[in-house]
Amino acid sequence: MQVTIRPLQEHDAHISVKWRNDPEVFKYTGNTYKTIISIENELEWIRNVIVKNQVGRDFRCAIEVDGIYVGNIYLTGIENGAAEYHIFIGDKNYWGKGVAKQASVLILKYAFETLRLNTVYLEVNKRNIVAFLLYQSLGFLVVSEKSDSYSMEVKGNRWATISTTIHVGAPQDEPESVIVQL
Ligand SMILES: CC(C)(COP(=O)(O)OP(=O)(O)OC[C@H]1O[C@@H](n2cnc3c(N)ncnc32)[C@H](O)[C@@H]1OP(=O)(O)O)[C@@H](O)C(=O)NCCC(=O)NCCS
């Protein structure tokens, strides 16, 4: 299984629009859409994403498995040595196969080793157990909490230590997991 991440492109909207309208995918995220997202909405969103990626404010990527687009992963609000991380696997056939973990390792490597950030942070709903376990396995620690969510973060020095111990997929998968820059 080859997991790659690459910056989102306009044509991705034709697939991602289906995921936007799947309540199971967005159950625990901040994006609980009240109305149907149309292809026009998604295209408009993705065009804005491309502009923000180009100015370096965000790094919003597609996740591909053996060339198939299965989800999105982002660093957003990149400034002052920090960025927020987000992920969803929109194609539910790929849940539980280690895809999120491999994609996350790629984007965190990019954050700490290429962008040289000090901190990557996130917010997770307390009921989203799978996501919480994923984040813990990547080295994120809880730094504060609200009634329904945790704020978590991983610092560069912790990442440097923990990234050497993270197991992603079968050993033969690891060298194949790459970031494709457009
Ligand atoms: C959360 C989500 C990204 C996980 O993606 P995934 O590809 O299924 O996760 P992985 O297979 O890479 O598993 C990563 C870790 O999550 C945990 N995990 C995955 N599936 C699990 C399950 N069914 N039960 C318990 N833990 C699970 C494990 O800790 C696992 O690491 P391990 O295999 O080394 O033990 C995916 O379920 C998703 O997109 N959910 C909807 C969107 C969402 O909630 N995004 C997060 C918003 S904060």
* Closest atom of ligand 1 relative to the 168 alpha carbon: 34
Sheet holding 82-89, edge to edge: 141-145, 149-155, 119-125, 82-89, 68-79, 59-65, 3-7, 178-179
pLDDT digits over 60-97, tens only?
999 999 999 999 999 999 999 999 999 999 999 999 99
Query: At 40, which helix (H) or strand (E)?
Result: helix 39-54
Residue 6 to residue 182: CA distance in whole angstroms: 7
* Torsion angle (degrees, nearest 10) of CA 63, 66, 69, 72: -10
Which of 101, 136, 153 has most ligand 1 atoms within 8 Å of CB, for mutation?
Answer: 101
Model pLDDT, residue 168: 74
Domain definitions of the chain by residue range: 3-179
Ligand 1, pocket residues at CB < 6 Å: 25, 28-29, 87-89, 95-101, 124, 128, 130-131, 133-134, 137
**What pLDDT, in 10s, does the model give residues 6-50?**
999 999 999 999 999 999 998 888 666 678 999 999 999 999 999
Architecture of domain 3-179: 3-Layer(aba) Sandwich (3.40)
pTM: 0.93
Tokens standing for 101? 């973990």
Residue 51 and residue 58: Cα distance in Å, rounded? 9
pLDDT in tens, 101-126: 999 999 999 999 999 999 999 999 99
Report the alpha-carbon distance of residue 166 to residue 149 in Å, rounded.
25
SS3 131: helix
